[in-house]
Amino acid sequence: MNSSYLQKPQDVERKWYVVDAADKPLGRVAATVASILRGKHLPTFTPNVDCGDHVIVINADKIILTGNKLNQKVRYYHTGWVGGIKEIHYNKLMAEEPEKAVMYAVNGMLPNNTIGRKALTRLRVYKGTEHDHQAQNPIAWTGEIK
């Protein structure tokens, strides 16, 4: 009888990966990063266990939006007050805070539960090529970002 391997939370070993987002589409980078954060690239992936790795995204300011999304795409959010709907256009968001644009995209691709919220805490996004995580010995992500 064949049995599936189910990973236990105490057996999870997390690695650190660096993803270079320069000249790559935002959605493709976000999908790859979300997959790494969930642990779907691992042969020991278990859906009900938080088994993903840490991800450092560099060059967030050089990420591209295809088509006319830079001018047309809008992010809406609510302040919690009556009539508190706000909007920010992506041309302004990418110019001022490209890290937030990457975080929003990855957050939208993670599950809306405790595993997804925990996975998002393992994401670090930086504008340039420098990051503060040399002590963790991160590995450059060699997988494909289509």
What backbone torsions phi and psi does residue 78 show, to the nearest 5 degrees? Answer: -120, 135
Is residue 49 in some structural domain? yes
Whole-structure pTM value: 0.93
pLDDT tens digits for range 63-99: 999 999 999 999 999 999 999 999 999 999 999 999 9
Other C-beta atoms closer than 10 Å to the C-beta of 15 total: 14
Is residue 4 in some structural domain? no
Total tally of structural domains belonging to the chain: 1
Domain that holds residue 38: 14-65+99-140
Is residue 92 in some structural domain? no
What backbone torsions phi and psi does residue 13 show, to the nearest 5 degrees? Answer: -115, 120
Q: Is 80 exceeded by the pLDDT of residue 1?
A: no
CATH number, domain with residue 104: 3.90.1180.10
Is residue 8 in some structural domain? no
